[in-house]
Amino acid sequence: MVTQVNSRTETGFFGEDAVCSYLIRQGYEIAERNYRIKGGEIDIIAVNNEFIAFVEVKTRKQDSLVSGFDAVNKRKKGLIIRTAVDFCTRHPNNLQPRFDIAQVIISGSRVLSIDYIQNAYDTTEFKF
Where helices occur in 1-128 by DSSP H, the ranges are 8-25, 74-90
Percent of the chain at pLDDT > 90 equals: 78
**Spatial distance between the Cα atoms of 59 and 70, rounded to a whole number of angstroms:** 12
- Kindly tell me if the per-residue pLDDT of 17 is higher than 60: yes
Amino acid at 44: I
- State the average pLDDT for the chain: 92
Rounded to an integer, what distance in angstroms lies between the CA atom of residue 122 and that of residue 114?
21
Q: Read off the DSSP letter of residue 117.
A: E
Tell me how far CA of residue 102 lies from CA of 8, 15, 47, 92, 126, in angstroms.
Answer: 17, 9, 16, 25, 21
Higher pLDDT, 116 or 64: 116
Q: What tens digit of pLDDT does each residue of 44-56 get?
A: 999 999 999 999 9
Please say whether the beta carbons of 115 and 103 come within 8 A.
Answer: yes
pTM attached to this predicted model? 0.90
CATH number, span 8-121: 3.40.1350.10
The amino acid at residue 38 is K
8 A C-beta contact, residue 93 and residue 52: yes
Domain boundaries of the chain, sorted by first residue: 8-121
Residue 22 has pLDDT above 70, yes or no: yes
